[in-house]
Structure 1
Amino acid sequence: MLIDQHLCSQNEGELSLYDEIKLILNSMIQREIQDTACASHKLHISRTTLYLNHKDRLLSLG
């Protein structure tokens, strides 16, 4: 924690290398989370569509 405070406060009004790296990593992680959520959402939609199509076929046969 002492290292964090030292790196963050070394230049007033200017981002330290540590802060820049932290910002970049955070944005990469956020993007990864969003991409994963989108992929998961798409998979859920396609599974639901398959289920509904299957259910419609069963109803039309019955």
Structure 2
Amino acid sequence: MREIQFREALREAMSEEMRRDPRVFLMGEAVAEYNGAYNVSQGMLDEFGPKRVLDTPIA
């Protein structure tokens, strides 16, 4: 079994589901332009585009 960081596991799981189901999207504070907290969503904006990876306000 390979060892990866928790953030990598999160990114892989989210990306896998987004590839599998076009209805799945990611939205949150700074998840698009700034790659989310600790870069969890790094590369997802490039792969899935701005209609499926959305930045939202903090409040």
Higher helix share: 1
| Greater relative contact order, per chain length (Cα 8 Å cut-off, separation 6+) | 2
- Shorter-chain TM-score bucket reads 0.3 to 0.5
TM-score normalised by L of structure 2: 0.32
Query: Which one has the largest radius of gyration?
Result: 1
TM-score normalised by L of structure 1: 0.31
